[in-house]
Structure 1
Amino acid sequence: MDVVWFAFFALLLIGYFALEGFDLGVGLLLPVLGRTREGRDRMVAAIAPYVLANEVWLVAVAGTLFGAYPALEGKVLFGLYPVVVAMLLSWILRDAGLWFRRRVDGPRWRGLWDGLIAFGSLGLSFGWGMALYAAATGFAASPVNPVGLMLGVVVTLLFAWHGWTFLAWRAPGGFGAARPGRALLVSGAAAALPAAGVLAGAMPYLVEHSAPAATLNVLSLMVLPFAPIMLGAQVWVWRTFRPGKDAFRLPSFF
């Protein structure tokens, strides 16, 4: 059962990087590709149908981590306390920017929230790279060191490339390029590669620190039946909002 839960946790984390990676990547590219207000509106409209569905994966990752690996809770929260706080603040700022940018029609208002979307996306992307480095060292080393900072840069660049590929797939030609679905799969795999690499190295450690078998059995009864529902909802989102399906129409909540 411990191997099953490791596979489930790995699937969730890799899925989060592959899916939320393009949301963050588009946010990173707002100042680069969105040189006009209309351009930034179109970029936000492209990711708007996916944001909430993709964030569910992060909630599932956190729940699985603390449910299946309770012994790691202290190491993650206290060993990465500054990074975790910075990432939570970045997440709040990014989502606040998405929600409030259209509440008032004015260039300064829009500019403020668009800047916060880009800043929050940068904080989350960079923070994930540092967190992965700390996890790779068993939380024994501080993530604020040259290697941790370099991994933060790598994850940020991969997310930015994934976001650019997503825009070229979702709205072909809208931002100067067009890419097929295969290209999006490749960029998604690249965005998830750092997480997959850390998970591969950490498998023995995670399996060893799994919750007792009785706890995992109870979690299986409570959680695993809902996994197909989450996966089915994700498939519905992608089928409903595939290219050509109102790529630039902004939902009311964005």
Structure 2
Amino acid sequence: MEMLAVVVLAVFTAGYVVLAGADLGVGMLLPVLGRGPAERRVVIASFAPFFLGNEVWLVAVAGVMAGAFPGLEHDLLAGLFPLFAVLLVAWVVRDMGLWLRGRVDAAAWRGGCDAAIVAGSWGLALVLASLLGTVLAGDPAGGLNAGSVLGLPLAGVFALHGAGFARMRCTGAVLERARRFPARYGVTAVVLAGVVAAAGARLPLEGAAAPGTGLAVTAVMTAVLLPLLLAAQALVWWTFRGRVDSPSYL
């Protein structure tokens, strides 16, 4: 049962990093891909149907960790609190920029929201890169270590991942700018999933698992929710499988 919980945690974590990593990458490159307000709305429209669903995977990661590995959750939050605090702030800033951008028809307002999207996306990418680097370096419960800095170049992979996603979703001038990056969505997805798997193998899971009842409840809930989450994700991707050439609701 414990091994099943480990696999489930890895699947949810890789799912978030790969799927939401594309949103973050596009946000990081927003000023490069979109040269004006109209183009930037199209760039945002490329991931608008996906970003909320992608964030559900992070909620699932937190739920599985709390239910199956409460000891690990406590150790990570205690040891890496500064990173998790920055992650939360960056998440709020990025989503605030996305939701509020279209609420006021003023150039200064839209510019401020674009800056929030870019800053929040970079913040999230850098924090995720630092978290993965810290875990890869070993003993994340002990706090920040050399891996926190050594993992930062991984943020560049998120940017390339976003460029690869834009190549699949955009048209016209935005597509041509995305093609300037040596990126393929499938390749960067494999790289990110591989980093997550390597980091997961370094987690101190021994003695961190919940008692049998906690693991059983987590396993049952996962068996019910994971197929629904996968089906919903597949439906969204199928529904919005075409390229975008016009703004969305954001």
For normalisation by structure 1, the TM-score amounts to 0.90
Which range moves more in the overlay, 40-49 or 220-229? 220-229
Contact 2:22 2:162 in 1 (8 A): yes
Partner of 1:157: 156
In the other structure, the counterpart of 1:220 is 219
Superposed counterparts of 1:101-180, under 5 Å:
101-136=101-136, 137-143=138-144, 145=146, 147-152=147-152, 154-173=153-172, 174-176=174-176
Q: Deviations over 1:36-72 (max 9, x none)?
A: 1112111100000000110000000111111110112
Query: Which whole-Å CA distance do the structure 2 matches of 1:169 and 1:104 have between them?
Result: 30
Structure 2 counterpart of 1:195, which letter?
V
Deviation at 1:111, TM superposition (A): 0.5
Equivalents in 2 of 1:221, 1:197: separation in Å? 26
Q: Aligned ranges for residues 179-198 of structure 1 at < 5 Å?
A: 183-198=184-199
| Pairwise CA distance, 1:184 | 2.0
Shift of 1:183: 3.4
Structure 2: unaligned runs, 5 residues or longer: none
CA displacement at 1:13 relative to structure 2: 0.5
Q: Offset of 1:197 from its aligned partner?
A: 1.4
Whole-angstrom distance in 2 between the partners of 1:222 and 1:14: 19
In 1, Cα distance between equivalents of 2:100 and 2:233 = 25
- Cα offsets for 1:223-244 (capped at 9, x unmatched): 3212100100000011111124
Please tell me whether the aligned partners of residues 29 and 118 of structure 1 are also in contact (alpha carbons under 8 angstroms).
yes
Identity %, equivalent residues: 38
Deviations 1:182-230 (A, max 9, x none): 932222112333222111333xx32542112222112222332121001
- Verify the 8 A CA contact 2:41 2:248 in the aligned structure 1: no
Please give the alpha-carbon distance, in whole angstroms, between the structure 2 residues aligned to 1:116 and 1:94. Answer: 6
Asked whether the 8 Å contact 2:163–2:179 carries over to 1, the reply is no
Match of 1:229 in 2: 228
Question: Whole-Å Cα distance in 1 between the matches of residues 206 and 141 of structure 2?
Answer: 18
> CA contact under 8 A between 1:134 and 1:140: conserved in structure 2?
no
Amino acid at match of 1:197: A
Tell me if the contact between 1:48 and 1:250 (Cα under 8 Å) persists in the aligned partners. no
Counterpart of 2:208? 209
* Alpha-carbon distance in 2 for matches of 1:250, 1:62: 33
Quote how far apart the aligned CAs of 1:33 are.
1.9
The 5 A counterparts of 1:32-51 are: 32-51=32-51
Q: How far, CA to CA, are the matches of 1:230 and 1:138 in structure 2?
A: 32
1:3 and 2:27 aligned? no
Closer, same or farther: CA 162–233 of 1 in aligned 2, 3 Å: same
Once the two structures are overlaid, the 10-residue window that deviates more, 134-143 or 76-85, is 134-143
Query: Counterpart of 2:241 in 1: which secondary structure?
Result: coil
- The alignment status of 1:64 with 2:64, answered yes or no, reads yes
The one-letter amino acid of 1:121's match is S
Other structure's SS at 1:21 match:
helix
Note closer, same or farther for the CA distance 1:210–1:44 as it changes in structure 2 (3 Å cut).
Answer: same
Q: Which runs of 4+ in 1 moved over 6 A?
A: none
RMSD: 2.0
CA distance in 2, matches of 1:142, 1:77: 9
* TM-score in terms of structure 2 length: 0.91
The one-letter amino acid of 1:134's match is T
**1:168–1:175 Cα contact (<8 Å) kept:** yes
Q: Is the 8 A contact 1:143 1:149 kept in 2?
A: no
In the TM superposition, residue 144 of structure 1 has moved relative to its aligned partner by 6.0
